Amino acid sequence: MQVIGNAIEKLENERKMMYITGGKVIGGITELQVPENLVIIGDIHGDLQSLFKALNGFAFRGFLSNPKNKIIFLGDYVDRGNDSIGVLYSLCCLKQKYPDSIILMRGNHEAPIEFPISGHDLPYEILENYGDFWGKLIYNKMILRFFRLLTLLVLVEGKLLLVHGGLPTEKIEPLMDFRRLIAYAQENHLRNKILEEILWNDPWRHSSAKRDWDYSTRGIGRLFGITISKKWLSMSETEVLVRGHEPCQGFKIDHKGMVITVFSSRESYPNYDAAYIRLSREQLESIHNGTDLSHYVIKIS
């Protein structure tokens, strides 16, 4: 699995150099200037066909040849679909060939050690394909290392705040505190709930002025209310939270346009649509909420 090793090297180099074309990398946070063109792809869940339908929809090779263009993947690349290995291989190939144009975020399915879930079937797929010895070696020594290097939060200057699941509900005061806490949330996940909430939280539709959050029916993570969204968008000086994590009809809007969910897998969710977002610098600079951003959603047919 040399391609995974090469992707790991690219991710480690970004963290060491604290740099990506058009932005900077600080631990688990990537901060970007507004890209020339931007694509955002949601949960894939082993659905290789939908992934390539999305990529081929905008001639991705030419798109990625310009390092000032970015594709941000929101996480949950594996499990549930028929080809998690193929999806991982494809994403690692893209990161290897176009390192400055590809940003790979971490989803809850990429944190199986920190938050074990019964639906994590990637190890069994690897064992079936590579045998017991090589399968365990690939998974434990390479894939888990790859997962730990994935981005937890992306900021697109003045416009977008991106996470896989949702926003932390704990009280955070100064601007620098949220950067520090999230940048090293992986290392501190036993001491606070930041990593868990970023990967597992969902928008709470029924929040009120009396409560900022509620417990999640998932049994892990929380539901974050509209006041949490307001606080985080204000702290990060952005206008829209973009996240994945929830199946929907391609996209959905929450919290009066402050939150947009994007979902890009169809294979394991036949009752839902799959979609991605694509827009230019000029279009991104014109948006002020999730409703504006939804005009650039493209369905995957």
| Tokens describing residue 31 | 């901060």
* Known active-site residue 45: no
Q: Is 192 helix (H, G, I), strand (E, B) or coil?
A: coil
- Considering 45, 109, 120, 164, which one is annotated as catalytic? 109
Whole-number Å distance between alpha carbons of 136 and 126: 8
Domain of 267?
2-299
Predicted pLDDT at 170: 84
Whether the per-residue pLDDT at 214 is higher than 70: the answer is yes
Whole-number Å distance between alpha carbons of 221 and 124: 26
Whole-number Å distance between alpha carbons of 125 and 23: 36
Beta bridge partners of 277: 40, 297
User: What is the number of structural domains in the chain?
Assistant: 1
> What mean pLDDT comes out for the span 279-292?
98
The torsion defined by the Cα of 202, 207, 210 and 214, in degrees rounded to 10, comes to: -40
CA distances (Å), origin 81, targets 5, 6, 105: 24, 25, 19
Q: What is the pLDDT of residues 16-45, one digit of tens each?
A: 999 999 999 999 999 999 999 999 999 999
What is the CATH classification number for the domain harbouring 148?
Answer: 3.60.21.10
Among 201, 175, 181, 185, smallest CA distance to 255 is for 201
| Residue type at position 226 | I
pTM of the model: 0.97
| Tokens describing residue 126 | 């690897």
